[in-house]
């Protein structure tokens, strides 16, 4: 059987749009026909279980994790497909909440290898998508919950015929690929809407919502709009800074919510929106006759696990990691930090890829910060720390470049007052490195990892 390194090598020897230069988002590059043909060679595994399909700019991973957690709480066997990963590639293909085993990944890639050998144009993301879909079929999953990788219309996951499609908050991101207007990006996200299949959307700005509404109408797809058909309200603040409470109710039921006192172990006002979006999708499934009790929703949300999103690692000083990587998400992060956490000064540790528009992120972060510390994100397209410092200086802010994130974390935490907040953000790659650095600093078990140099 293949070794784990060999199995990953088969995947990552192909064209990788995720880590390389992203080509234009056009059909001659992102060809769904190629994915259909690949899956046909495997027996169309994605047709053997029911699915939920989730697109969006922000929150799609969180909503995916929430829907998956609720389905598992209802007793279903689930496969959850997300990207990118934090620590190990295996996180992308989860079964019943756990990352795929190395042995299962090796076995599946050995089976896929001869199929791939005759298809040299298949990309990395298409291989991973097919791997997940085939694995879920092989393991007899009841449901597959799939997060879109990029866009939606031409994403490899868009071969699905789901029970419900979900679109989370849309903002400007990947503008060089998806378009430079909100409406253009919404058009790509709305590409997951299919004839007669219900769609749930999170609250959207008017331009994006208009595109979603017109697309749903054209496909005669029933549309549920969070903020119109389903609502949420935040409950009492949790002083332990580990969870939050909320009520969720349908239009006209504010006085008697369908869900009261739900517990969510994810912080941030945006996670309340995500939770309501996930519950609205679950309610669509319930209307279709899927056996999900409201108590399953309560237990599922209470147990959702989605690290690296406004995650509190330490206290005195507070140490928080968050994978905010576009201006919209950074602004939401800053807006909600003060609502959930008590602190005096903010010390930012920042690193980002070139495609994340780091200058726009720095422009938002630094005015709210007492000190700024620039690090290199562990990514081939990472912006060098010296360049990040130059960007900060051009805006009139001081910043320091560090040789390593480990050194930055240790130094900033050491020098911070106990009442301060140390915020590590810029990309999920930085968040993953920070979580690993924190574990080393405190002698904690390191998260699982992959062999160096495999991707």
The pLDDT value recorded for residue 75 is 98
pLDDT at 24: 52
Same domain, 352 and 294: no
246 and 335: one domain? no
CATH at 49:
3.40.1190.10
Establish if 208 belongs to a structural domain.
yes
Please tell me whether residues 273 and 347 are part of one structural domain. Answer: no
For residues 438 and 352, what is the distance between their CA atoms, to the nearest angstrom? Answer: 19
Statement to judge: residues 274 and 316 lie in one domain: no
Do residues 343 and 253 both lie within one domain? no
Residues 296 and 426 in one domain: no
Handedness of CA 175, 392, 336, 410 (dihedral sign): positive
Assess whether 331 and 262 both reside in one domain. Answer: no
* Domain final residue, candidates 268, 302, 336: 302
Residue 447 falls inside a structural domain: no
The radius of gyration of the chain's CA atoms, rounded to the nearest angstrom, is 21
| pLDDT given for residue 5 in this prediction | 96
- Give domain status of residue 452, yes or no: no
- 222 plus 251 within the same structural domain: yes
Cα–Cα distance measured from residue 373 to residue 405, given in angstroms and rounded to the nearest whole number:
9
Domain end point (choices 278, 302, 326)? 302
- In tens digits, the chain (455 residues) has pLDDT values of 899 999 999 999 875 555 545 555 555 566 799 999 999 999 999 999 999 999 998 899 999 999 999 999 999 999 999 998 999 999 999 999 999 999 999 999 999 999 999 999 999 999 999 999 999 999 999 999 999 998 899 999 999 999 999 999 998 655 455 556 888 899 999 999 999 999 999 999 999 999 999 999 999 999 999 999 999 999 987 766 789 999 999 999 999 999 999 999 999 888 999 999 999 999 999 999 999 999 999 999 999 999 998 999 999 999 999 988 888 788 888 988 888 899 999 999 999 987 668 899 999 999 989 999 999 988 777 899 999 999 999 999 999 999 999 999 999 999 999 999 999 999 889 999 999 999 999 999 999 999 988 87
Domain that holds residue 146: 4-302
Q: Which of 239, 268, 302 is the last residue of a domain?
A: 302
b (16+ CB within 10 A) / e for 334-355: bebbeebbebeebbbbbbbbeb
Tokens of 216: 């749903």
- CB neighbours (10 Å) of residue 49? 19
Q: Which residues of 356-373 are buried (b: 16+ CB within 10 A; e: fewer)?
A: bbbbbbbbbbbeebebbb
Look at residue 449 and tell me if it is in a domain: no
216 lies in the same domain as 363: no
Q: What is the pLDDT of residue 175?
A: 47
Residue 448 covered by a domain: no
CATH number at 358 reads 3.90.190.20
Strands in 199-201's sheet, in edge-to-edge order, are 98-99, 93-95, 78-81, 143-147, 50-55, 164-167, 199-201, 223-225
Q: Are residues 335 and 387 in the same domain?
A: yes
* Overall pTM > 0.85: yes
Same domain, 237 and 284: yes
First-last CA distance in the chain? 21
* Integer Cα distance of 55 and 160 in angstroms: 12
Does residue 378 sit in the same domain as residue 360? yes
Q: Contact, 453 vs 378, CB < 8 A?
A: no
Looking at the 3D structure of the chain, how many domains does it have? 2
pLDDT the model gives residue 171: 81
């Amino acid at each position: 059987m293949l070794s784990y390194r060999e199995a990953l090598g088969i995947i990552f020897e192909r064209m990788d749009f995720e880590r390389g230069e992203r080509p234009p988002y056009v059909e001659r590059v992102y060809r769904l026909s190629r994915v259909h043909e690949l899956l046909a060679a495997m027996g169309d595994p994605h047709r053997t279980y029911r699915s939920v399909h989730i697109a969006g700019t922000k929150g799609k991973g969180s909503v995916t994790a929430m829907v998956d957690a609720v389905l598992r709480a209802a007793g279903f066997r689930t496969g959850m497909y997300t990207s990118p990963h934090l620590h190990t590639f295996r996180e992308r293909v989860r079964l019943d909440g756990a990352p795929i085993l190395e042995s299962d990944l090796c076995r599946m890639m050995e089976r896929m290898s001869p199929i791939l050998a005759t298809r040299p144009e298949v990309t990395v993301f298409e291989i991973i998508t097919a791997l997940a879909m085939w694995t879920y079929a092989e393991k007899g999953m009841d449901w597959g919950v799939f997060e879109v990788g990029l866009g939606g219309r031409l994403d490899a996951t868009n071969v699905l015929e789901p029970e419900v499609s979900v679109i989370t908050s849309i903002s400007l991101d990947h503008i060089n690929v998806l378009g430079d207007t909100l409406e253009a990006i919404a058009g790509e996200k709305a590409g997951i809407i299919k004839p007669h299949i219900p769609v749930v959307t999170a609250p959207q700005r008017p331009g994006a919502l208009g595109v979603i509404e017109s697309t749903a109408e054209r496909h005669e797809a029933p549309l549920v709009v969070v903020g119109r058909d389903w609502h949420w309200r935040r409950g009492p603040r949790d002083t332990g800074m580990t969870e939050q409470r909320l009520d969720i109710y349908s239009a006209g039921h504010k006085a008697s919510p369908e869900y009261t006192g739900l517990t969510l172990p994810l912080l941030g006002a945006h996670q309340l929106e995500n939770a309501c979006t996930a519950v609205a999708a679950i309610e669509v499934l319930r209307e279709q006759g899927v056996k999900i009790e409201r108590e399953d929703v309560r237990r599922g949300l209470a147990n959702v696990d989605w690290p690296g999103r406004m995650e509190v690692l330490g206290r005195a000083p507070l140490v928080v990691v968050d994978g905010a990587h576009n201006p919209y998400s950074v602004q939401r992060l800053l807006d909600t930090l003060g609502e959930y956490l008590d602190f005096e000064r903010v010390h930012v540790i920042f690193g980002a890829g070139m495609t994340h528009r780091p200058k726009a992120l720095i422009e938002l972060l630094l005015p709210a910060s007492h000190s700024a510390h620039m690090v290199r994100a562990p990514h081939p397209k990472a912006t060098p720390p010296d360049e990040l410092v130059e960007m900060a200086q051009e805006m009139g802010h001081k910043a320091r470049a560090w040789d390593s994130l480990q050194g930055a974390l240790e130094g900033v935490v050491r020098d911070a007052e106990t009442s301060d907040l140390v915020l590590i953000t810029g990309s999920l790659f930085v968040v993953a490195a920070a979580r690993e650095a924190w574990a080393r600093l405190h002698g904690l078990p390191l998260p699982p990892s992959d062999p160096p140099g495999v991707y």
